[in-house]
């Protein structure tokens, strides 16, 4: 994954260059300070209890030097450190840029493309083209971090935030959520797949992946939209009720009423999870998927649930 100093973007390379010089600087000052300290500790160790010591109280010259020198150094680091960042924060306006809307929600990422296609967890982008991410959260704070591209920005419910990159090397790159967002924060992972021009053409024509059956697509969504984080498919207890044997099961609601789970109940619970909660499960855990999943996707997930008997 993110091995040190192997950024796959030009901008990432610039960041690494700064990172590298800062490491050298840190090591230099650390060694310099502590070598002097340890030398003095040994050189002036007590040899006899009544040993004479110098009454020296300070030196204006030294104070002046070690005020001015660090000031110059940190000023230079600041200026040196603005460059790559400034580029990072200036969104490209190239004609051929790709703008993707990123939605963060507990605990998965979804991506909407200009042509209307929606991906979950896995983002596909063309090699060598600038990609601008327009990001928004539907629940709590998240943060979109692609270590190999050296970019990160929080994903916030009240405003859009932006991020951009231009990846030059095809491959799959890790995405982390880096703002604590609750139980499955550490499972809110994703991938950015950088496709070669040929693969990108295939992807745009829906030829890159085989066509899936509704159940297969439902199973994929179960993982990618992070249903799996809270609903097991083998009956084991988790944050939410298990999907095993869910269809047709009689469940007691928080208000004591009994409901037999059917298609209508599942659609309602996916869109508005807090309306009819199964007893024993706290409200507010599951985000609403209303508008986050298409009707067809919801049907496919239900088709998948039906297979878990």
Give least dist CB 270 to other proteins, A.
19
Give least dist CB 35 to other proteins, A.
10
Sort 257 into a burial class: Cβ within 10 Å, 0-12 / 13-18 / 19+: exposed
Give least dist CB 208 to other proteins, A.
25
Between 148 and 217, CB nearer to other proteins: 148
138/91 Cα distance (integer angstroms)? 23
Structure token pair of residue 55 = 């009454």
Structure token pair of residue 206 = 């829906």
Between 186 and 307, CB nearer to other proteins: 186
| Residue recorded with tokens 């840029």 | 97
Structure token pair of residue 166 = 């231009």
Give least dist CB 235 to other proteins, A.
12
Between 224 and 306, CB nearer to other proteins: 224
Between 174 and 196, CB nearer to other proteins: 174
Between 76 and 212, CB nearer to other proteins: 76
| Phi, psi of 160, deg, nearest 5 | -80, 140
Going from the C-alpha of 178 to that of each of 146, 265, 288, the distances in angstroms are 10, 34, 22
Please state whether 291 falls in left (phi above 0), alpha (psi between -120 and 50) or beta. left
**Which residues, other chains included, contact 139 with Cβ-Cβ below 8 Å and sequence gap of 6+?**
105, 106, 157, 181, 287
Between 89 and 117, CB nearer to other proteins: 89
Q: Please choose, from the candidates 303, 236, 308, the residue with its C-alpha nearest in 3D space to the C-alpha of residue 270.
A: 303
Give least dist CB 167 to other proteins, A.
16
Between 81 and 214, CB nearer to other proteins: 81
Structure token pair of residue 74 = 């940190």
| Phi, psi of 290, deg, nearest 5 | -65, 120
Give least dist CB 197 to other proteins, A.
28
59/209 Cα distance (integer angstroms)? 73
Give least dist CB 27 to other proteins, A.
9
């Amino acid at each position: 994954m993110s091995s040190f100093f192997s950024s796959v973007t030009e901008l990432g390379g610039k960041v690494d260059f700064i990172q590298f010089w800062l490491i050298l600087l840190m090591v230099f000052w650390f060694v310099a300070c502590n070598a002097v300290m340890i030398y003095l500790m040994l050189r002036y160790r007590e040899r006899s209890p009544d040993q004479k010591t110098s009454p020296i109280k300070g030196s204006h010259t030294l104070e002046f030097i070690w005020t001015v020198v660090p000031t110059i150094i940190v000023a230079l680091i600041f200026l040196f450190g603005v460059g790559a960042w400034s580029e990072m924060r200036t969104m490209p306006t190239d004609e051929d840029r790709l703008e993707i809307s990123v939605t963060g929600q507990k605990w998965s990422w979804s991506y909407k493309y200009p042509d209307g296609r929606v991906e979950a967890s896995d983002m596909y982008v063309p090699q060598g083209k600038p990609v601008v991410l327009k990001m928004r959260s539907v629940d709590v704070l998240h943060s979109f971090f692609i270590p190999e591209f050296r970019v990160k920005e929080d994903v916030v419910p009240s405003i859009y935030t932006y991020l951009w990159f231009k990846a030059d090397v095809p491959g799959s790159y890790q995405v982390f959520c880096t703002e604590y967002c609750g139980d499955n924060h550490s499972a809110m992972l994703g991938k950015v797949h950088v496709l070669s021009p040929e693969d990108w053409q295939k992807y745009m024509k829906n030829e890159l992946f085989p066509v899936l059956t509704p159940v297969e697509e439902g199973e994929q969504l179960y993982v990618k939209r992070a249903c799996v984080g809270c609903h097991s498919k083998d009956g084991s207890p988790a944050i939410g009720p298990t999907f095993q044997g869910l269809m047709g099961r009689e469940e007691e609601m928080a208000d004591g009423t009994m409901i037999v789970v059917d298609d209508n109940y599942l659609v309602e619970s996916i869109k508005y999870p807090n309306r009819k909660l199964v007893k024993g499960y706290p409200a507010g855990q599951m985000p609403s998927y209303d508008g986050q999943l298409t009707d067809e996707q919801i049907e496919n997930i239900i088709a998948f649930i039906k297979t878990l008997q």
